[in-house]
Structure 1
Amino acid sequence: MGQVGCLLIHGFTGGAYEVNPLARYLREHTDWIVSVPVLPGHGRTLNLRDTNADEWVAFAEEELRRLWLYCDEVYVIGFSMGGLIATHLAIHYPVSKLVLLSAAALYINTRQIFKDLNELAGNMVRRKLHENEWFGHYKYKLINTPLKATFEFRKIAKRTIPLLEKINIPTFIAQGQMDGIVPPKAARYVYDRIGTYEKKLYLSKTSKHLICYAADCDKLFHEIAFFLKCTDYPDDG
């Protein structure tokens, strides 16, 4: 095998930080070229008013083509909305393997959100709001995400989800069972509909939506690296 490239795509309103822990792990344990681009309008500072779904997908396509300038084989990893974009790439380009992390095939996990909101309310009463990681992470996003951008995200979902059966490459699907954004059943939804027979489903009992920051993320990263390196990965049924 020649040079391998790995493209990691973050989620809606997110940035490279969402998948950077996995990117670091892959760089430390392989000699692959690992690319973690930031989609237009995304990142630590959001500017989503003047971007759209077509631009996000086109940007990911350009990054994939750029990797092929240096690589003989490319794997694609997508988190949340990035999982939908990664699926698009795997359908339309000769990607070798696909990894979907908390892929936004279904959304929202109402039960977990209410649980998080109850925790948030308790912290407000105890005046510990600044200590609540969930609040700090999503407050900025809620304020700075225009409704138009949400419709653009849904465009990607509507275009991509019906095409899952066209995926014919080995695929690893990971999902946190405490996810408050994408319901855990989304992973099984994708697993059951994806076209390939070479597929692996991984569930994290401790992870919320940001699966690359879960308590058991090292185990997840090991499983992903093994899956990508393995030349014969059986269907786990």
Structure 2
Amino acid sequence: MIGCLCIHGYTGGPYEVQPLVDYLEQRTDWKFEVPTLPGHGRELDLKGHYYQEWIATAELAYLELKKTCDKVYIIGFSMGGMIASYLSAKHEVDRLVLLSAAGKYISVPQMYKDLTGFLTEAFRGSLEENELFLHYQNKLKQTPFPSSVEFVKCVQFTRPFLKDIHNPVLIVQGKQDEMVPDKAAIYLEQEIPSEDKQLVFLNESKHLICHGKDKEELFETVISFLTR
């Protein structure tokens, strides 16, 4: 049996990767694990949680899959991509998919572009209808500063393990990502020594890549990589 572990990002939840999970579930007989990292989910409760807990939760989910599965694939989104990279370096992982992985952060040019758009919409009186603005406004209200420090620590801790990844890797990055810059994907490709790695840019996708305009292309790219 094949197991597939999907890890969401910082201040997110399983909903970030759920469209991809649904797509794969409909087309495979794999066993899926999509854990909610401590303090995360639709309603955030991050205070008092540490990056070690987030890594440990994902690692336990991997170990549960490994009990019954001959092969394990890991898909990681944003911070979850860095946790996935750590697990791939430490454990026996057959294939690794990194989506908008936060190896480097933040995309200042794209964020400036988005903020400029927010200001324009504010003058027009339509800002409250902007889903991207509402998404980040809600997250900012629920995110304590110490938790963001834990996010940075998580990235810093997992980054050195990139050099120990030798299994097949697919790296996918949205060209309009407002959080993770293009250079993050290029950095990952350069740091990971695997001889079997593929880098794909999606022109119309922002950070929430599984919900973006290119999601059908994303889904087809991922399943092709995992089943080839």
TM band (smaller chain): over 0.9
1:162 Cα deviation from its structure 2 partner: 2.2
| Corresponding position: 1:189 with 2:171 | no
Rounded to whole Å, the distance in 2 between the matches of 1:229 and 1:74 is: 12
Do structure 1's residue 129 and structure 2's residue 132 form an aligned pair?
no
Q: Which runs of 5+ in 2 are unaligned?
A: none
1:112-127 superposed matches below 5 A? 112-127=110-125
Question: Structure 1 or 2: larger helix share?
Answer: 2
* Aligned residue number for residue 47 of structure 1: 45
2:33 is aligned to 35
Q: TM-score under structure 1 normalisation?
A: 0.94
C-alpha displacement of 1:160: 1.5
Distance 1:21 1:184 in 2: 23
- 1:174 is matched with 172
Measured after TM superposition, the shift of residue 69 of structure 1 is: 2.4
Structure 1 position 82, deviation (Å):
0.1
Q: Amino acid of the residue matched to residue 147 of structure 2?
A: A
Q: Distance in 2 between matches of 1:156 and 1:117?
A: 27
Residue identity in the other structure for 1:217? K
Hey, what's the Cα distance between the residues in 2 that align with 1:152 and 1:213? 26
SS of 2:72's equivalent in the other structure is: strand
Give aligned-pair identity as a percent.
47
Structure 2 Cα separation of the partners of residues 66 and 27 of structure 1: 18
CA distance in 1, matches of 2:61, 2:151: 19
67-76 or 20-29, which moves further after superposition?
Answer: 67-76
Q: Distance in 2 between matches of 1:138 and 1:189?
A: 26
> For structure 1, which segment, 68-77 or 199-208, has the greater mean C-alpha deviation from structure 2 after superposition?
68-77
Give me the whole-angstrom Cα distance separating, in 2, the residues matched to 1:216 and 1:144: 29
Structure 2 counterpart of 1:233: none
Deviation of 1:70 (Å): 2.3
TM-score (norm 2): 0.98
Correspondent of 1:99 among 97, 101, 108 = 97
Aligned to 1:62: 60
Secondary structure at 2:172's aligned position in 1? strand
Cα RMSD between the aligned structures? 0.8
Q: How many residues align?
A: 228
**In the alignment, which residue of structure 2 is the partner of 1:199?**
197
